[in-house]
Amino acid sequence: MLDVRRLQLLCDLSRLGTIAAVACLHAYTPSAVSQQLSVLEREAGTPLLERSGRRVALTAAGRLLAEHGDRVLAALEQADAALAALGAGLAGPLRIAAFPTAVRTLLPSALVALGREHPGLELSVAELDPVAVPAALRERRLDVGLINHYELAPGAPDPEPGPGLAAVPLLDEAVFIAFPERTGGRTEAQALSRTQPQAAAPSGTGTEPLLAARDADWILASPGTLCHTATLHVCRAAGFTPRARHHADDFATVLALVAAGQGISLVPQLAAAQPPAGVHLVRLQVRRRNRIAYRQGAAEHPAVAAFVSRLRASAEDFQAAG
C-alpha cells in the first residue's frame, strides 16, 4: 500500500521541480525528502526518479504515479468534505484569501452573513495577490481564495487554476483606463472619450484609448503581481509597452495619483465604483474575470459551499447596485 504522505511529496516534486523546493514547502531537510521518496519507490516497486548529480527528474512511472496521486489527494479532500457534512453545524477554521478590492467591496457583507448563520465558523481573511493563491491552497495555508485574469478576447475560456485545484465563477468586471481631469483646454480624458465613448464601446479589444495614451506616464502595480502583468499584456496587445512613472498596488493610492496628474492606469470595476474628484474613466473592451478557487474535492465541504454561496450573493448585490 502506498503511503499518502509520501505520495504528496511526489506530487509536490512533480509541480515544484526540485527536492529543495519540496523540502522548503514541508519544512523538511532535502535529505529527509529524498529518503521518503526512496521509500515510496520501494513501495511502488519501480524507479520513480532519475538522478543526475544533484538534479532529479520523474521517470515515466513517476509521472504516472503523480497524476494518480493528484486524484487520490482530491478523493481524500472529498472524503473530508463528506464527513464534515455529517456534522450538526459548521464549525472550525475557514481560511480565506482575497485581493484588496474584493476585501473592501465583496467580503464584508459575506463575512457578516456567515458569522450570523454559522457562529461556530472561525473566519480569517488575508490579502493575497491572485498569483500567490494557487500555491497557498496546495500548501494548505488556505481553504478558499480569489483568483482572476484579464480577458483580452471576448469569449476566451478561463485558464485552469492548476493541478489539484478547482474554481467557480464569481464576478466579471469591466476594466477602465483612468485619466486625470485638467481644467481648461481639451483634456486627455475628453479626447479619449471622443475616441471611444463609455456608452458605445466598439467591438474587439477596444485598443483605441490605449493607442492614444501610449506616450503617457503610467502608474503600474509592483512587478510580479497579476495587475502589473495584466497591464503589460493589455498595452502590448495594443502595440506598445507602458512607460512606468510610479508603482502602487492599492487602487485607492493609484486613483489618488491619477487625480494628482501623476499618470494614467488601468482600474477594474471593483476599484472604480467611487473614483475621487479629478479622475475620468474610459471603459475598455477588457474584462477582469474573478473566480473562487479551492482544492479539488472540497466543493462539497459545507464551509466552502457556504462561503461560495454567500460571496456570490455579495457579488450579485454589487452588480445590482452598479
Same fold across 91-166+290-321 and 172-288 = yes
Please state the rounded mean pLDDT for residues 202-224: 75
At 114, give phi and psi (nearest 5°).
-65, -40
What is the enclosing helix (H) or strand (E) of 4?
helix 4-16
Please state the rounded mean pLDDT for residues 244-249: 95
**pLDDT band with cut points at 50, 70 and 90 for residue 90:** confident
- The residues pairing with 292 across neighbouring beta strands, listed in sequence order, are 146, 168
Domain 172-288 has CATH 3.30.365.10: no
Please state the rounded mean pLDDT for residues 132-161: 87
Residues 248-277: tens digit of each pLDDT: 999 999 999 999 999 999 999 999 988 999
CA 52/CA 74 separation, integer angstroms: 32
Threshold 0.75, pTM exceeds:
yes
pLDDT computed for residue 77 by the predictor: 82
Asked if residue 95 has pLDDT above 90, the reply is yes
Which residues fall within 8 angstroms of residue 255, CB to CB, at 6 or more apart?
A: 178, 265, 267, 271, 272, 275, 276, 279
- Of 48-62, 100-114, 133-147, 183-197, give the lowest mean pLDDT range: 183-197
222: Cα separation from own chain's centroid:
15
CA 22/CA 40 separation, integer angstroms: 15
Which residue, among 282, 322, 307, has the nearest Cα to 125 in the 3D structure? 307
CATH superfamily of 91-166+290-321: Periplasmic binding protein-like II (3.40.190.10)
**pLDDT band with cut points at 50, 70 and 90 for residue 91:** confident
CA 202/CA 164 separation, integer angstroms: 39
Return the CATH number of the domain spanning residue range 4-84. 1.10.10.10
**pLDDT band with cut points at 50, 70 and 90 for residue 166:** very high
Q: Is 112 helix (H, G, I), strand (E, B) or coil?
A: helix
CA 220/CA 264 separation, integer angstroms: 9
Parallel, antiparallel or unpaired: strands 55-58 and 49-52? antiparallel
Please state the rounded mean pLDDT for residues 135-164: 86
What is the residue extent of each domain of the chain?
4-84, 91-166+290-321, 172-288
